[in-house]
Each structure stands twice: as C-alpha cells, then as structure tokens.
Structure 1
Amino acid sequence: MTIRRRTVHSGGLPLAVFEEGDPANQTVLLVHGYPDTHVVWDDIAADLAVDHHVVRYDVRGAGESGVPADRSGYRLELLGADLFAVADAVSPDRPVHVVAHDWGSVQSWEAVTAPAAERRIASYTTMSGPSLDHLGFWMRERFRRPTPRHLRQLLVQGVHSWYITAFHLPFLAPATWRLWLARAWPRVLRDLEAVTPRPGHPQPTLRQDAVRGIELYRANMRPTLRRPRERPTEVPVQLVTLARDHYVSEFLSEGLERWVPRLTRRTVNATHWSALLEKGPVVADLVRDFTARVEAGQDHAPPESGQLVVITGGGSGIGRATALAFAEQGSRVVVGDLDLASAERTAHLCALVGGRGHAYPLDVSDGAAMDAFAQQVAAEHGVPDVLVNNAGIGHSGTFLQTTEKEWQRVLDVNLWGVIHGCRAFGTLMTERGEGGHIVNLASAAAYLPSKVLAAYATSKAAVLMLSDCLRAELAPAGIGVSAICPGIVNTNITRTSTFSGLTADQQAAKQEKVSKMYARRGFPPEKVAAEIVRAVRTGKAVVPVTFEAKAARLLGRLSPGLLRRAARLDVG
C-alpha cells in the first residue's frame, strides 16, 4: 500500500507525517515512543490501513521531524499541541482515533486530557505510557498511605524505572547511548524483549535523535510528578496492559477510573516492544474492535464485559461451585454439561450472585462436539480467559475386574475430555494472543496408587502429566495451566460412580455406602472452587486441596515406597 508523506508545522517545527489507506475512512493516528520513529508501527499500520485511514508522524526531535532548540522545546504542552496539529491537518472534519505507545502514550495523554479533547479525539488506545499527572497522584497516595502493598509497588516500579534516574545524570546518559546502547540494542530486543529480527521487519532506529530524546525525561518527569494537575477526560480510553512489560507495571493503572470514566481494560501477552514488533495483528484487532464500538456508541460498559470463564461439567458439584465462585467476582460464565437442565440451573444461579451465566449441552468425550462448542462460545461470547476442565466420572475396580468397556468410558471422559478441551480452547487462546489460564481437574488419586482404582487413578495421573506438558508448551503464549487435585469431596459424583464386578443391586448399595462416607467427611465443593479461583490468580501449577491430598503428595515425595505398600491394603 502506498505511503504518502507530508509536512505539518507545529510550534515552529516541521513534523514528518506519513499516511496510508483511504482518507474517507475513519482516521487512526499512531504516536510512537522513545527511542523509536514512525517505523515501529509498520506492521500495525499495514493491518489497519485495509479499512482505516492510518496516519503516523515522527515526534519532534525524532526521525525526519524538526529538532527543538533546547530542552524547553520538549515540554508536554508542546508535544500535545503537535498531536492536535497533525490531527487537524489530516482529518479536519472528523475526530481521530489515537493509538500510542511508550512516550507516545505519555504525550498523547496531554492531548487526551486537554479541555474539550473529545471534540477532536474520538478514542484513545494507550500502551505502556501513563499520564505523568495521573502517575503523580498515584505516587502521592502511596507515600501518604505507605501500606506494605503500596511500598512494594513503589519499590518494584522504582527498579523497573532505573533508566529514568540514569537519564537525568549529566553527560553520562548521552555518552552511554553513544558508546554502548546503540550497539547493544539488537541484543536487548532479542534477549529481553523476545523480538526476533527478520527481513523487512521494522526495528527502532537509534541515531542522534535517541540521545536528543533524553530531554523528554528531563523536561517533564520531575516538574510534573512534583506538581501533578487534575487531568480528567471524557474521551473513551482503551488501556492495553502488556503482561510482560519490563518497564511499566500493570498496577500503575490502579484508580485510573477516577480520571477516565469511559475506560476499557485489555491485556496482551507481550513485552514492551514485542507488542508492536511481534504482536501487530493482535493490537490491530484490539484497535479495530474499540474504534468500531466507539463509532457505534457502545464503548462504555459493553454488555459482554468481564472475564469469560468456561467450565465443563458445570451442572453440579465442583463445577457448579466453581461457576458461582467466578460469577461472584463479576465473571461471565459458560457452563457445559451433559445434563442441560442442570447447566441451565447453574447459569441461573450465576446471575443471582452477580455474574452472567450461559448454559450449553456438552459431551466432553466427543472431540467433534467439543470443537463445535468452542467455536460457538467464541462466536457468541468471545475467546475465554479461563477454561476449567472439570467434567469427570468415578469408577472403582481392580485392573483385572475392569472391563475394556469400563476402561474406555473412564478414559473417554476423564482423560479425553480434558484433551479435547485443552486442544479446542487452548488453540483459541493461543491464536488470540492475550494469554489465559487452563485448569484441569485431576485428583489425589493421580499420585496415590490404589489397587481398586486402576482405571480412575490412571486417567487422573494422565491429566496431571498432561497439565505439566501443556504448561511448558503454553508458557510462551502467557497461558497458565493448573492441575487441581482434590481428595474426598462431598459431591454427587459418588452417586453416579460405577463399580466393576457388581450386580445392579450391589452397585446401588455400594454407591449409597460411599456417598455416606463422603458426606461424613464433609469437605464441600466450595472449598475446591476457592482453590481453583486462587490458582488462576496465582498461576500455581499443582494444587492438592484436602488434607489427605496434601498428605499423600508429601508422603509420595518423602517415601514413595510406603505409598506403594499402602496400595496393597483392602479398602471397604
């Protein structure tokens, strides 16, 4: 696509402006950060130009634009005025959608929070660059109330922002750029930023303007943070948090709703620069979706907001308790179950506790059905943030007693059901590129051998190992995997469990006996659900839940031979 160049003058400086796409379409204005130029947007600009009028410009002091005479020429008010000058030149009759990164975001906040900014700026998508005024108030609040959490945040961000202090040192910072960083930059991108150089792929250009750009920090950081201004905005803002950002911590946006009532939060599994240089299609899709919703007047509190959680076997027991636990946090919950009526009941309960529930019939043992279910969920609700592979069945019997048909049934549900779910939804999560979490329900039986649980224990041990393998594979995509290992939990699985070598009457009697034993144990499924929610939040890999599950895991590490001898004992 042809790139058209023009020059726009602002504050006595020429700004190099680059346009592509049809000017009749909505205008998206891309603002780069430090030490970049407009080239850093190449991938995203090419993607958006298909259906947008895309405009980029080299900010003052960078690339082909003019250079201020002294430090005062880098002040935020001048940088904000530059944005308005470019917007007025390229889209005089319609507000523009601004997308910015790093220092591009910092200076764009200056324009976005200007009085009546909503008349010229239709929306703002910001990545890795807070408003310095908002940051100033954020710091004041933490120094005023120095709780352990606040002190930790200040310490962590201080470590991440070491370079800002270095940039204020006279002579040293420019000399460091000239002598070392310019040569080391490709290695920084490869090793720290996970950016793989490839032919034709844009890279930040480090020339003399990288040294000059240090004045951005010197002209604005200390003055603004010392005396922050009240800077609210009515512009719809999409905050894209980069999950692996080495410089801007996600907690810097805490309380941002105070200044931005029309705020949408999104997360991309990317480092500071890989978001632009490796995840261009993902970012472009976020911008495209947000601008479309803004143009349709649906940017604020969209009807389908909140974390999306998919739970298999959610019609009862641990699945239902988990659905309610997530719903209480405001999540959207999709429940799949072989018993549609039970799934619908769970969905209804989710709505009563503050979330939103949706029910679907689902046979997890059917791979094609799981694939169709995943596609339907994605089409109607979006790609889930969390998948809980909970559906399972119980079975008791020695190896020689268990028939081939019984083995097949147990493995089809307990193992293949998890495989089908991980494959169908893991693929969607990976393609989306925003991370996620998969929870697989294993069991203490996964590491606690028993001669009367041959098929069941084998299926759960396989789920535990599958989770370990999948965790390693999906880690680069920012997708966590947790295996939950309950012990004896009071659910209705005992009433549907089967037993090898028993008549129908004996089966019923055995189910009744085991159900009473589990009921006497009295461990509720809600406690397992709480551990599942916690595992998603913390990313814990393996979670034994009950006392016996924790004890068996510890004993298996300390004395596995003792567990093997105990497995020979006769159990009820």
Structure 2
Amino acid sequence: MTTRRTVRSGGLPLAVFEEGDPAGPTVILVHGYPDTHVVWDDVAADLGKDHHVVRYDVRGAGESGAPGSRAGYRLELLAADLFAVADAVSPDRAVHVVAHDWGSVQSWEAVTSPGAEQRIASYTTMSGPSLDHTGHWIRHRLRRPTPRHLRQLLRQGAHSWYITAFHLPFLAPAAWRLWLSRAWPRVLRDLEGVTPRPGHPQPTLKRDAVRGIELYRANMRPTLREPRERPTEVPVQLVTLARDHYVGEFLSEGLERWAPRLTRRTVDATHWSALLEQGPVVAGMVRDFVARADAGETQGPSDSEQLVVITGAGSGIGRATALAFAEQGATLALADLDLPSAERTAELCELVGGRARAYRLDVGDGAAVDAFAQQVAAQHGVPDVVVNNAGIGHSGTFLQTTEKEWQRVLDVNLWGVIHGCRAFGTLMTERGRGGHIVNLASAAAYLPAKALAAYATSKAAVLMLSECLGAELAPHRIRVSAICPGIVSTNITRTSTFSGTTSAEQAAKRERATRMYARRGFPPEKVAAEILRAVRTGKPVVPVTFEAKAARLLGRLSPGLLRRAARLDIG
C-alpha cells in the first residue's frame, strides 16, 4: 500500500510517496528528467518487500511545487530537498539514496555535502555524474589532450548534444510543447527499447519537461566552468548502464578520487530500460549494497575485481591464465581433474595478489559441471569470465582411432566446452550483466592433418561452437572468444595418447613431441596474455603463435595447399 504525504522544503511542497516495510531500511529513490516518481514503480515494488521505500516528485515535477524562477532549480536547493525528505521520513536513522539521471546529479550534491555521511548511509547512482566531478574530468583531459582523452571528449560531446539545445532561447520549450511530448513514447520504444506503459510517460510530461529545462540552465555552465572540490565519505555504488545513449562509461574514470568507498556495477541496459524493463535487477543490486553498508562492509567487490572460472587450471595454459588474472586482482574458481595441481595453482594465485579456490572437476561429466556452476554461484557469485581450457591431446589417423579413443577426445575437448558454456552461459544470461566466455580451440581447428583426425575435429567443433554461441549471446552482452594456439610448450604432450601404438612406442612418441614443443619455446604465459587481451577487446577468434596465424591466413588464400600438407606424416 502506498501512502502520500507533503514535505515542505524552502517554501515548496514536495509530494512524497511511501510503501513497503516501515521497520526495514529506508531507501529514497530520486527520479531524473523528464520523469516523476512513477519511473521507479518496478524497483519500488521489488524493494518494498523488505525495505521502507520512499519516492518523491522533485521540485517542478509531478505533484510537487515548482520554483518561480531559474534560481530555484540550483543544485544546493535540490540537495536541501533530499535532506528535507530524509528528515521527514526517517528522522532517527540514516537513509539509503538511489538515484537516476538528474536525480543522480542532484543527489551527488547532497552526498558530497559536509557531514552527509551522518544522514546518508549509502548512495547508488545511475546515469548522472556529479557536475563538479565532471568539470574536473574535462579539465584533466584538456590539460593532457592525449588521443584517447580527445576521443572521450568528442564522444561525450556527441552523447550530450541535447544539453546545448536546452540552452537555446525558446527552442527547447517550443520543441517540447509542439512535438516532443507527443513523440516521447516513440523515443522510448525505438531508441531505448522500452515498451510504453500506463503512467509512463506521465500525464504532466509536457509541463514538467518545459520546467525541467531550467535544471540545465541553472547548473550546467556555472558548475562545469568552475568545479568545486567535492569528496564524500558516503559508500557509493556506481551502476553503469552498458548501452546508455547519454552518459559514457568513461565519464566515471578517476571517480575513486572523490568517492574512495566506491563499488562499481554494470547492467546491460539503456538509459531508461534499466528502470522500466530491469527493475528487479536494479533492486537486487540496491538490496545487496544496502545490506553491506548497514553491516559496515562498505567496500564490496567491484566489477573491476572480476570473478573468473578456469577449467584445466592445474598446469600449462590454465595455470598461466589463472596467474595472469590473479595479478589483476581477480577472484578465481580453478577446476581440474587433478585437484592437488589446481590447489597449487590457487596457492600461486594468492601469492601474486588474487583470491583463488580449487575444485576437482571432470568436464566431460555434464551433471558435474552443472553442479560446479551452481556451487561457484552460491559461494562466489556468477562469474564475469569463464575460460573453458581443459583439454587432452591425441594423435592418430581416422582408421587407426578407435571408438573409445574418439569418445575420450570428444568428451573432454568438445563436450567439456559445451557443458561449461551451457552451465555458465545460462547463469550469465539470467544475471543480465554480460560477461565473457573463452573457449580454447587450436590451430588444428583450421589446419587439417591426417594424424590428428579426432583432435582436429574436436577443436574445429569448438571454434564453430564459439562462433554460433557468440551470435546467440551478443544481445545479452556476453562475448565469446575462441583461442587457437599453435605449438605451445606445456605438459599436454606428456599426457597425449597415440592410436595403434604399443606402450613403449607411445612413450617414445610422447618424449619426441615434448622435445619438439620445448625447442619451439613458446610459453603458455604468452597464450594467457592473448586470453586477457581477448577479454578486454572482445575479439572472437584469436590465433596464437606464428604458425597459427600463418595457417589461418594460408587457409584463406590457398586452402588447396593446406589440404596437400595435411597428407604429411607428423605423428
């Protein structure tokens, strides 16, 4: 049940709406422009199950009063409104503030006010930076105009074109009155991917939008021209909307300078779809952050502190990749059939700055992989990166390779990847925050060899699986990369099997292959570096080593030559 009250601030009446559990933590939701409190409906419904949820129409919007002049929209007055509402609805206990768009801009003013930590227990901000912080961000880039800084300034300028339009006399108010108010549902649908619903846009949109232009005119130029020093001790959760058409994610670079108790999160959403289509996702992030702030755990794991799952992590490329992520401060779930080897990798990861836990896992067992995924989610959360690395080597022509040998190679090299993609891809999709799946294929995926029938087939399937899965998961902001190494010096040669050989012959072939790979001298650490680069860039197919790159190029230029080379004896 929602109740309404009026709170006065600076002589203006503010319409305040309350719902949920009065005994729970108080969460104040502050809307942006050109919205009213209605934009929070989905978030409020979810949070209201266990929180005291408060929304209010900001000055000039909805059922609240409007200032009589532009000066009445200054940031310090908007901040005073927030404190007035907090004092009225929770006089004896600090409140948690959640804000979006211009609601975030004005809430930053409150959060960075001296002593704000006494009244505000935590702050979750979406798509609305502090104007002072932004002013310093612009100054820093103008003082050091590197190509990257210039690109950022140009991109944000393109995102913010409408701010210039809002400063033009008569044009912006006339546009809202004559056209934009009617076209707004179509803008939300076509640009934002939001299905219009009753109550949003609100009936007062035309009036509120015209009034709200004064927010920009009263604050943008004065604050950006002379930004103030505005640090805060309030715990801040920054929720970046990955497909925001107005606020670039790079605008928050260096925010830790102003908000040292900062947690970063990401939602795969546009500017308005985060609230209107993914309300429960946002509510879940707020619920978690509020709980940690009330428990005194003010610095939780940020998205920059990635959770990474790696299979086959006990040695070789798996271990090197784990160490590379650990050096970046990642939390790691390391799986291997050989548990002591995985535990040793976890110990090494701890030494270089990561946090790691080892698990025994047979990737060929689908039920075991599903259980492992659920265990990781329960103990650590849904991973940001999954590296399906576990694999085995096998040499033999098609006619030499037995059905049992085929089954073993496909169970590990192909089905192991399928199981990992299915189990963790499902979790990532349901979470709705994107992610990255890395599958270890091989140059053998596109370099045929008669002595690698089973192995090359398994790796070719992994490559195509990765391409297909990448297309399927792209709308969920989950990227998929296939890594295709050539000859890499790892212990895979010591565990490889060979068809049609005696035990003695098999041992001799293993020793010969090990010496050849050692002479090649390409270490697994270089493959790990390419994996981290793929996660940063999203590159879908990554050949590693000269021979892997040359074979991929040759396969495009002269596939017939590759087919003739495939007839050579290499086993």
TM class, shorter-length: over 0.9
Distance (whole Å) between structure 1 residues aligned to residue 385 and residue 414 of structure 2: 19
Q: Could you tell me the TM-score, scaled by structure 1's length?
A: 0.97
Does 1:557 find its partner at 2:556? yes
Does 1:40 find its partner at 2:39? yes
Report the more deviating stretch, 76-85 or 553-562. Answer: 553-562
1:177 partner letter: W
Tell me if the contact between 2:321 and 2:529 (Cα under 8 Å) persists in the aligned partners. yes
Tell me if the contact between 2:176 and 2:206 (Cα under 8 Å) persists in the aligned partners. no
> 1:305 Cα shift?
8.4
Q: Which residue of 1 aligns with 2:309?
A: 310
Distance (whole Å) between structure 1 residues aligned to residue 363 and residue 434 of structure 2: 23
1:21 partner letter: G
Distance (whole Å) between structure 2 residues aligned to residue 379 and residue 200 of structure 1: 38
Distance (whole Å) between structure 2 residues aligned to residue 380 and residue 203 of structure 1: 41
1:61 partner letter: G
Aligned CA distance change for structure 1 residues 339 and 147 (closer, same or farther; 3 Å): same
Tell me if the contact between 1:488 and 1:523 (Cα under 8 Å) persists in the aligned partners. yes
Deviation digits for residues 514-553 of structure 1 (CA, Å, limit 9, x no counterpart): 1111111111100000000000000011000111111111
> 1:489 Cα shift?
0.6
1:32 partner letter: H
> 1:207 Cα shift?
2.3
Aligned CA distance change for structure 1 residues 305 and 217 (closer, same or farther; 3 Å): closer
Tell me if the contact between 1:313 and 1:336 (Cα under 8 Å) persists in the aligned partners. yes
> 1:190 Cα shift?
2.2
Query: What SS does the corresponding residue of 1:413 show, helix, strand or coil?
Result: helix
2:357 partner letter: H
The 5 A counterparts of 1:109-258 are 109-197=108-196, 202-203=200-201, 206-258=205-257
Does 1:92 find its partner at 2:91? yes
Q: Which residue of 2 aligns with 1:55?
A: 54
Aligned CA distance change for structure 1 residues 221 and 131 (closer, same or farther; 3 Å): same
Distance (whole Å) between structure 1 residues aligned to residue 12 and residue 199 of structure 2: 30
Q: Which residue of 2 aligns with 1:74?
A: 73
Query: What SS does the corresponding residue of 1:264 show, helix, strand or coil?
Result: strand
Tell me if the contact between 1:61 and 1:212 (Cα under 8 Å) persists in the aligned partners. yes
1:375 partner letter: Q
Distance (whole Å) between structure 2 residues aligned to residue 278 and residue 324 of structure 1: 38
Distance (whole Å) between structure 2 residues aligned to residue 413 and residue 270 of structure 1: 36
Q: Which residue of 2 aligns with 1:484?
A: 483
Distance (whole Å) between structure 2 residues aligned to residue 377 and residue 114 of structure 1: 40
Distance (whole Å) between structure 1 residues aligned to residue 361 and residue 187 of structure 2: 47
The 5 A counterparts of 1:273-284 are 273-284=272-283
> What are structure 1's unaligned runs of at least 5 residues?
none
Query: What SS does the corresponding residue of 2:99 show, helix, strand or coil?
Result: strand
Distance (whole Å) between structure 2 residues aligned to residue 438 and residue 278 of structure 1: 25
Query: What SS does the corresponding residue of 1:485 show, helix, strand or coil?
Result: strand
CA RMSD of aligned residues (A): 1.4
Distance (whole Å) between structure 2 residues aligned to residue 517 and residue 100 of structure 1: 60
> 1:9 Cα shift?
1.1
Aligned CA distance change for structure 1 residues 124 and 332 (closer, same or farther; 3 Å): same
> 1:561 Cα shift?
2.2
Does 1:339 find its partner at 2:331? no
Q: Could you tell me the TM-score, scaled by structure 2's length?
A: 0.98
> 1:448 Cα shift?
1.1
1:45 partner letter: A
Query: What SS does the corresponding residue of 2:192 show, helix, strand or coil?
Result: coil
Tell me if the contact between 2:264 and 2:303 (Cα under 8 Å) persists in the aligned partners. no
Aligned CA distance change for structure 1 residues 216 and 201 (closer, same or farther; 3 Å): closer
Q: Which residue of 2 aligns with 1:529?
A: 528
Tell me if the contact between 2:104 and 2:128 (Cα under 8 Å) persists in the aligned partners. yes
Does 1:369 find its partner at 2:368? yes
> 1:347 Cα shift?
0.4
Distance (whole Å) between structure 2 residues aligned to residue 540 and residue 201 of structure 1: 42
Aligned CA distance change for structure 1 residues 561 and 304 (closer, same or farther; 3 Å): closer
Q: Which residue of 2 aligns with 1:6?
A: 5
2:500 partner letter: G
2:253 partner letter: E
The 5 A counterparts of 1:248-327 are 248-300=247-299, 306-327=305-326
Distance (whole Å) between structure 2 residues aligned to residue 194 and residue 405 of structure 1: 50
Query: What SS does the corresponding residue of 2:6 show, helix, strand or coil?
Result: strand
Distance (whole Å) between structure 2 residues aligned to residue 53 and residue 302 of structure 1: 26
1:112 partner letter: V
> 1:242 Cα shift?
1.1
> 1:213 Cα shift?
0.8
> 1:304 Cα shift?
11
Query: What SS does the corresponding residue of 1:411 show, helix, strand or coil?
Result: helix
Percent same amino acid among aligned pairs? 84
1:282 partner letter: V
Tell me if the contact between 2:266 and 2:303 (Cα under 8 Å) persists in the aligned partners. no
Distance (whole Å) between structure 1 residues aligned to residue 319 and residue 396 of structure 2: 28
